[in-house]
């Protein structure tokens, strides 16, 4: 099975935070296909990318967006593969990211988005969660996820 996660974000300004998802997945040996596409500015290109990436073997999607933050929900509307939403703090955020968090988390019944925390930690957790989903069917990846946890525990205990 190809370990491939699709990462999409609404703007180039989202890249510094969304890099955390990409780097986390790379560290776990998971490939990524990364795009900047907007639910509002490039809806047709977004639809084409979701359809094409499923064909190329993407099994889980991570979508990061700030402000109106419709991107994760729109991706979820276009696929039945799991979608993880990362709320971001947009330059024009009216509530310091709470705006995006509430937008992403309040999906209507039937079209879920697994919403993680804001910012760097949320993007990194999106990467780990995507790997955990893939690891259900891949024992080697499950072992690497476990090692990541053990490494974190060792750091805490080392003081």
Least Å distance, CB 67 to ligand RP5, is 4
Nearer to ligand RP5, 58 or 69 (CB): 69
Chain-centre distance of CA 156, in angstroms?
26
Q: Torsion angle, CA of 28/70/37/94, rounded to 10 degrees?
A: -100
Interface with ligand RP5 (CB under 6 A): 9-11, 13-14, 38, 65-67, 88, 90-91
Nearer to ligand RP5, 6 or 10 (CB): 10
Nearer to ligand RP5, 91 or 151 (CB): 91
Residues in contact with 141: Cβ distance below 8 Å, sequence separation at least 6, in sequence order: 3, 28, 29, 30, 131, 134, 135
């Amino acid at each position: 099975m190809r370990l491939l996660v699709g990462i999409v974000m609404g703007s180039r300004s989202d890249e510094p935070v969304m890099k955390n998802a990409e780097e986390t997945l790379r560290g776990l040996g998971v490939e990524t296909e990364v795009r900047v596409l907007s639910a509002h500015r490039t809806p047709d290109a977004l639809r084409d990318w979701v359809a094409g990436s499923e064909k190329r073997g993407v099994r889980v999607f991570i979508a990061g967006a700030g402000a109106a933050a419709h991107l994760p929900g729109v991706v979820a509307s276009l696929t039945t593969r799991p979608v993880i939403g990362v709320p971001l703090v947009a330059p024009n955020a009216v509530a310091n990211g709470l705006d995006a968090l509430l937008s992403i988390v309040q999906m209507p019944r039937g079209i879920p988005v697994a919403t993680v925390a804001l910012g760097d930690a949320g993007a990194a957790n999106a990467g780990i969660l995507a790997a955990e989903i893939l690891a259900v069917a891949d024992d080697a990846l499950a072992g690497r996820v476990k090692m990541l946890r053990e490494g974190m525990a060792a750091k805490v205990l080392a003081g």
